[in-house]
Amino acid sequence: MSAKRILIAAGFCLTAAACGPNSQQNQAPPPAAAPPPPAAEAQPAQPAPPTDEQRLAKIRSEEARLERRQRALDEERAAARAASAQPPPCGDCGVVASITPVRQEGQAGWAGTLGGAAAGGLAGNQFGKGKGNMAMTALGIVGGAFAGREVEKQVTANTVYQVAVNMETGGVRMVTVANGQGLAPGMHVHVDGDSLLPY
């Protein structure tokens, strides 16, 4: 056998050994496929920025709320000042509610009785004769005395005024005064016994 054939056979064997079934065992496994990139997480939708009209409406609403709060504070301060400045109620002071005139009957004295008796006796003496004259005179005296008393009552009668006063501390006080001049419903008065003094 020639050297040329030996070399060809040796090359064939080497090629067969390299390409044979055992050649796949010596080969490195193919690299694993890279995992797919993770899907992008869904981002939450961002709210749209407020418009100029919305911002202006919000500012006006806040201003209105602050104005209402300021008015409430001013009213509270005014009420507190009024309460501290108000004097305590007067126990003898009040407001006239009504004025009622009342006719008071006069008192009969001896003057009216005796005067009436004398006048009645004189008038009765003008009638009748004898015992009739005496009876008429007596009747005139009695009737004249009674009439004289009534006349004196009418002459000495007077008018007083009953005044109802709504007191500052509560309740109604009735005061009788001799003169109602200068008094009127709604007037502030100070009750001093049986007198009413304006104040």
Contact 139, 121 (CB under 8 A): no
Torsion-angle region of 181 (φ positive above 0: left; ψ -120 to 50: alpha; else: beta): beta
Q: At residue 58, what is the residue type? A: K
Domain 89-105+158-199 has CATH 1.10.10: no
Closest C-alpha to 190, from 175, 180, 179, 178: 175
Q: Are 151 and 176 in contact (CB under 8 A)?
A: no
DSSP-derived 3-state class of residue 24 = coil
- pLDDT tier at 65 (50, 70, 90 boundaries)? very high
Residues contacting 137, CB < 8 A, separation 6+: 121, 124, 125
Q: List the beta bridge partners of residue 95.
A: 166, 188
pLDDT band at residue 12 under the 50/70/90 scheme: low
pLDDT at residue 24 tops 50: no
**Residue boundaries of the structural domains of the chain:** 89-105+158-199, 107-156
Give tens-digit pLDDT for 172-185. Answer: 889 888 887 888 88
pLDDT at 94 > cutoff 80: yes
pLDDT of residue 159 exceeding 90, the answer is no
pTM to 2 decimal places:
0.38
Helix 110-124 vs helix 131-156: crossing angle, to nearest 10: 150
| Closest to 137 in 3D by CA, of 155, 118, 150 | 118
CB 168 within 8 A of CB 96: no
pLDDT digits (tens, 9 = 90+) for 117-127: 677 666 666 76
DSSP state of 158: E
